Chains A and B, each alone.
Chain A
């Protein structure tokens, strides 16, 4: 999907968020307007057929799947570690973490690498990365009752609800 290639950029290079956001705005006829207060950019991806998202500023890069070395004595949702441009980073199976059924990785799977302070850089395994969403914070709705604690809110995209993840809770594996 061309959107995915644009997001990945050259292998290993950080994605061009500003260009993507401008393109998204342009498609909706908003021209070159600057982001008003309350506008947020989210990276959307798919898990088990459903859309989820994380704030764009938390994302360092997106990479294709690569060999994952399993690590003993870690929670089951940690698949292992990958080598990432000179660093060794844990990969979290987001499906498992959110209680969704497991799925063998395929060609569209990606690792979304999150910034971390103090050695906390983490990779999230997702089924596919779909797009950058530009949303008005006021349109965010609270999660549905019974929704996983990891969901901070829902953002409406046409007929779909995109689940915005609460990353601090997702990455707190003791909870």
Chain B
């Protein structure tokens, strides 16, 4: 939980949500504040790369959907970039908080 301008902001480490090993030698994480309606959650990430307009494409394959992933964007020379489903992540974060 973080005090953001007087409001309590629940925090979620994205790496924990997705069971990804933490980056070695990571510096202080950034909290990306996302929201749906009135709800706000801070997603902790290792690094910020920047901001970009992009097209979200559906992910094709045998796995039909992944909770928390809305699709993917294509970056030139870098392959696919996963785009998060903010509504699902916020919902899961707040539901987890109520269950705790």
B63 close to A82 (CB less than 8 A)? no
Residues of B near A71 (CB, < 8 A) are: 59, 63, 66, 69, 82
B62 close to A171 (CB less than 8 A)? yes
Known contacts A86-B74, A88-B74; A72 and B68 CB within 8 A of each other: yes
A120 close to B60 (CB less than 8 A)? yes
Residues of A near B58 (CB, < 8 A) are: 88, 119
Looking at chain B, what size class is its interface with the partner chain?
20 to 34
Give B50 Cβ to nearest chain A Cβ, in Å: 17
Q: Which of B18, B20, B61, B64 contacts A89 (CB 8 A)?
A: B61
Where the two chains meet, the residues of B that have a C-beta atom closer than 8 Å to any C-beta of A are 17-20, 57-64, 66-69, 71-72, 74, 78-82
The reply on A18 being an interface residue by CB < 8 A is no
Q: How many A-B contacts at CB < 8 Å in the complex?
A: 86
Known contacts A88-B57, A120-B60; A73 and B74 CB within 8 A of each other: no
A67 close to B79 (CB less than 8 A)? yes
* A-B contacts, 7 listed (Cβ < 8 Å): A72-B17, A72-B69, A78-B61, A81-B61, A116-B61, A120-B60, A173-B62
A87 close to B57 (CB less than 8 A)? yes
Known contacts A74-B66, A82-B79, A83-B74; A88 and B60 CB within 8 A of each other: yes
Known contacts A81-B59, A90-B61; A72 and B72 CB within 8 A of each other: no
Residues of B near A120 (CB, < 8 A) are: 60-62
- Binary per-residue interface labels of chain A (54-86) against chain B in the complex, 1 for a CB within 8 Å, 0 otherwise: 000000000000111101111100101111001
B80 close to A82 (CB less than 8 A)? yes
| Closest residue of B by beta carbon distance from A72 | B18
Among A83, A90, A119, A122, residue most surrounded by chain B Cβ atoms (within 10 Å): A83
Residues of A near B66 (CB, < 8 A) are: 71-74
Residues of A near B17 (CB, < 8 A) are: 72
Residues of A near B72 (CB, < 8 A) are: 69, 81, 88
| Closest residue of B by beta carbon distance from A86 | B74
The reply on A166 being an interface residue by CB < 8 A is no
A90 close to B63 (CB less than 8 A)? yes
The reply on A121 being an interface residue by CB < 8 A is yes
* Alpha-carbon separation in the docked complex, A171 to B61 (Å): 9
* Alpha-carbon separation in the docked complex, A116 to B61 (Å): 8
List the 5 closest pairs (A to B, CB-CB), nearest first: A90-B61, A72-B18, A67-B79, A88-B72, A121-B60
The reply on A92 being an interface residue by CB < 8 A is yes
Residues of B near A74 (CB, < 8 A) are: 63, 66
Among A66, A72, A82, A92, residue most surrounded by chain B Cβ atoms (within 10 Å): A72
